[in-house]
Amino acid sequence: MSKAFDSLHPPLFLSKLEAYGFQESAIQLLNSYLNEWKYPVKIGCHVSSSRFVSRGCPQGSTLGPLLWNVFQNDLSYCLTVNLSMYADDHQIYHARADQAAVTLQLKDSANLAAAWYDSNLQAGKSTKF
């Protein structure tokens, strides 16, 4: 996955919260948190004016990793193999005696993961598949 925290899509994230049964007040609070932050860009000695950010969640915040974990939680539901997730790093793995079956299952799961990345507006690194 590439630049996951920068690419979180707030409307999609908020719809997931609704599907998980979050209360409307919590969704509205997180909506304001994700949609009402801005930052300047500094290049050398020059600093731009602050601009609102339309995607992502604030990095370096305490809440950012938790929001990302909630956002990516449903990836595990679409796979038929084991999944290990740490922040924006994902590893799929599977064990069986039949090596050909394992290879096929892992390839199928990599395709399912790629489809999840696409449908969740994320850029998976296909070179890692």
Residue 18 CA from chain centroid, whole number: 17
Q: What is the pLDDT of residue 97?
A: 93
Output the pTM of the full model: 0.76
User: How far apart, in Å, are the Cα atoms of 109 and each of 71, 74, 85, 94, 104?
Assistant: 19, 14, 15, 10, 9
What is the per-residue pLDDT across 6-53, written as a single tens digit (0 to 9) for each?
Answer: 788 999 999 999 999 999 999 999 999 888 777 788 899 999 998 877
